Structure 1
Amino acid sequence: MSEDLDSNFARVVRLAEAAGLPEVTVGTSYGTPALLVKDKSFVRMKDGDTLVVMCAREEKEMLLELDPRLYFETDHYKGWPAMLVRLSEIDDQSLTGRLVAAWREKAPKRLAATFSERDQPRSPTP
Structure 2
Amino acid sequence: MPLSPDPDAALAQVREIALALPESEERPSHSQPTFFAAEKMFAQFRHDHHGDGRTVVIVKAGDAEEAAALIENLPDRYSRPAYFRAGWVAIDLAAEDTDWIHVGDRIARSWELAAPRRLLEAGGR
For the aligned pair, the TM-score class normalised by the smaller chain equals 0.7 to 0.9
The 2-side partners of 1:112 and 1:83 are apart by: 22
* Within-5 A mapping of 1:1-126: 4-17=6-19, 20-47=20-47, 49-55=55-61, 56-74=63-81, 76-77=83-84, 79-89=85-95, 90-115=98-123
Consecutive unaligned residues of structure 2, counting only runs of 5 or more, are 49-54
How does the TM-score come out when normalised to structure 1? 0.75
Root mean square deviation of aligned Cα: 2.2
Q: Percent identity?
A: 24
CA displacement at 1:40 relative to structure 2: 1.8
Q: How many corresponding residue pairs?
A: 112
The 2-side partners of 1:28 and 1:4 are apart by: 20
SS at match of 1:59: helix
Structure-2 change in CA distance of 1:76 and 1:115 (3 Å): same
The 2-side partners of 1:107 and 1:100 are apart by: 10
Consecutive unaligned residues of structure 1, counting only runs of 5 or more, are 118-126
Structure with a larger share of its residues in helix: 1
